[in-house]
Amino acid sequence: GVDTLKITVIGAGYVGLVSGVCFAELGHEVTCIDNVEQKIKQLNQGEVPIYELGLQPLIADNMEKGTLAFSTELASSVKQADVVIIAVGTPSLPNGQANLSYIEQAAKEIGMALSGYTVIVTKSTVPVGTNEKVRAIIAQHTDEEFDVASVPEFLREGTAVMDTMNPDRIIIGTDSQRAEERLIELHHSLTSNIIVTDIRSAEMIKYASNAFLATKISFINEIANICEKVGADVTQVAHGMGYDKRIGSSFLKAGIGYGGSCFPKDTQALIQIAGQMDYDFKLLKSVVEVNREQRLNIIHKLESLLEGLKGRTIAVWGLAFKPETDDVREAPAFEIIAALRERGAFVKAYDPIAAPNFEAQYGSDGIAYCEDAREAAWQADALCILTEWGEFQQVSPSEIQEWLKSPYLIDGRNVYDQDQLAGTQLVYYSVGRPGMNKGMREEVPLLSL
């Protein structure tokens, strides 16, 4: 067999925790470091601070086997490590630029602790050139031999473990043969394609990939908006487009736009990176703008149905930025609920697991957090679906109609299909499917040839 590597992961957030746990599962010896003591204490007691399918049992197994440990002691772990993985946060600064202070701090501490040849991997999403900065900072603090490499992470929340264990590709950006060999060894039990690039290209691959996916979403959302005007159905359009292998069928679901910890931040950061080089990334700026406006289309639909929102009670199903996660970062729900409140509506919200996180950020002014979907919808003037949780699919539209005071359902994620709506009196608005809109006030205009 191949040797077990000693790995230190710095930052026990989403990326750090999941990749640390997966590398332990792949047979390496992993220590996850975080400077938040409470988090490390929790993890050592077997509690997982994030909701992620399949993560908890993997943590428990590997802790028991002794292949996974959690600690706040960076130096002692880095000293023994063959590979150090930087997975700290790179939050947006107010101007959209990535804040690199956590990366720089980590690099400094790594430099002071290094002992023996070590490969320092950056997994955090960082602007092109950051790995070279990391190299310079480490070099200022050590005389030991080391190399840096960029190994970007493409995991999605909700399927993070599966994505990490079966990635579409592994990108290894490095300028050193020795580091390349060690990192191939690190991934030896994965069957995925390994693509070796130079460091700057690896850094760019991450931004370009996320920006491209965000572009697909904004593209299909604009097609949906046009479909509403011309009387076409965006789900059928996307289905038809997806069979072209060059287009592909994924990331063509129209809705209220993308949120989450990556797309909003990374698109802004790439616009900034280009701007610093005096390049105006017009296409990506539009992608961001379309995404912002798409969230508010739901408000326009509500306003046209209810003739004003003042004093209305609006039910909201779904607060997470997508299903199967309790993460609310950049969730469309923030802007939509704020817009409802600004227009004088009262909100009753329900999410299967993300409500506490949402409340912690948004507060409870003018919003009631409900125990279940029924309680939120009960006697409301309209219901908006903002996240396509599976359990909403299970509720029949005729039940929704019974619960609501007025039969208005605004489906921001195209959860229901024609058959489920048949027989109800719901006034139903979805995204880009005008044929399913019942009880619309405006007729769909026909195209004149």
> Which of the following is catalytic: 22, 227, 262, 370?
262
Q: Which stretch binds ligand UDX (CB under 6 A): 22-30, 83-91, 99-107, 153-161?
A: 153-161
The single residue among 103, 252, 354, 426 that binds ligand UDX, judged by CB under 6 A, is: 252
Q: Is 295 annotated as a binding residue?
A: no
Please tell me whether residue 157 binds ligand UDX under the rule CB under 6 A: yes
Which residue stretch of 225-233, 249-257, 334-342, 346-354 sits at the interface with ligand UDX (rule: CB under 6 A)?
249-257
Q: Helix or strand or coil: residue 349?
A: strand
Write the secondary structure of 22-77 as one string of H (helix), E (strand) and C (coil): HHHHCCCEEEEECCCHHHHHHHHCCCCCCCCCCHHHHHHHHHHHCCEEEECCHHHH
- Total residues at the site for ligand UDX (CB under 6 A)? 20
Residue 98 DSSP one-character state: B
Type of residue found at 129 = G
Q: β-strands 118-122, 6-10: how paired? A: unpaired
Among 151-159, 172-180, 227-235, 273-281, which window interacts with ligand UDX (CB under 6 A)? 151-159
Closest separation in Å from C-beta 160 to ligand UDX? 8
What's the rounded Cα separation, in Å, for the pair 181 and 200? 19
Any known ligand binding at 251?
yes
Q: Where are the alpha helices (DSSP H) in 307-369?
A: 332-342, 355-362
Q: By CB neighbour count within 10 A (0-12 exposed, 13-18 middle, 19+ buried), where does 188 fall?
A: middle
| 322 forms part of the interface with ligand UDX (CB under 6 A) | yes
Cβ closer to ligand UDX: 142 or 159? 159
CA gap 416, 436 in Å, rounded: 10
Q: Which of 102, 251, 346, 378 binds ligand UDX (CB under 6 A)?
A: 251
Mark the segment that binds ligand UDX (CB under 6 A) among 34-42, 210-218, 341-349, 374-382.
Answer: 210-218
As measured in angstroms, the least distance from the Cβ of 261 to ligand UDX is 6
Shortest Cβ distance from residue 323 to ligand UDX (Å)?
A: 8
The answer to whether residue 262 is catalytic is: yes
255 binds ligand UDX (CB under 6 A): yes
Amino acid at 381: D
Q: Of 114-122, 172-180, 254-262, 340-348, which segment contacts ligand UDX by CB under 6 A?
A: 254-262
State in angstroms the smallest separation of the CB of 192 from ligand UDX: 14
Query: Toward ligand UDX, which CB reaches closer, 322 or 433?
Result: 322
Do residues 194 and 172 make contact, with C-beta atoms less than 8 angstroms apart?
Answer: yes
Q: Does 51 bind ligand UDX (CB under 6 A)?
A: no
Give the interface segment with ligand UDX, choosing from 25-33, 92-100, 255-263, 297-305 (CB under 6 A). Answer: 255-263
Amino acid identity of 315?
Answer: A
What whole-number distance in Å separates Cα of residue 46 and Cα of residue 161? 17
As to burial, measured by CB atoms within 10 angstroms (0-12 exposed, 13-18 middle, 19+ buried), residue 447 is exposed
Q: Is 142 exposed, middle or buried (0-12, 13-18, 19+ CB in 10 A)?
A: middle
Tokens of 61: 């197994």
Indicate which single residue of 217, 298, 370, 421 sits in contact with ligand UDX (rule: CB under 6 A).
217
**Is 368 annotated in some ligand binding site?**
no
Q: Which is nearer to ligand UDX, 111 or 352 (CB)?
A: 352
Write the single-letter amino acid at 363: G
The residue (of 77 and 221) whose beta carbon lies closer to ligand UDX is: 221
The verdict on whether residue 253 carries a ligand-binding annotation is: yes
For the record, the structure tokens of 225 come out as 């908006």
Taking CA 407 as the corner, what is the angle to CA 402 and CA 408, rounded to the nearest 5 degrees? 135
Residue with tokens 């760019």: 204
317 forms part of the interface with ligand UDX (CB under 6 A): no
123 marked as binding residue: no
Contact between 263 and ligand UDX by CB under 6 A: the answer reads: yes
The amino acid present at 170, given as its one-letter code, is: I
CB 448 within 8 A of CB 239: no
Using DSSP's 3-state secondary structure scheme, residue 122 falls into strand
**In Å, how far are 21, 265, 274 from 278, measured between CA atoms?**
41, 20, 6
CB of 238 to ligand UDX, least distance (A): 8
β-pairing verdict for 313-317 and 382-385: parallel
CB of 252 to ligand UDX, least distance (A): 6
User: Which residues are near ligand UDX by CB under 6 A?
Assistant: 153-157, 210, 213, 217, 251-253, 255, 258-263, 321-322
User: Residues annotated as binding site?
Assistant: 34, 39, 90, 125, 154-157, 206, 251-255, 259, 265, 322, 329
User: Residues annotated as binding site for substrate?
Assistant: 154-157, 206, 251-255, 259, 322
Q: Which residues are catalytic?
A: 262
User: Residues annotated as binding site for NAD(+)?
Assistant: 34, 39, 90, 125, 157, 265, 329
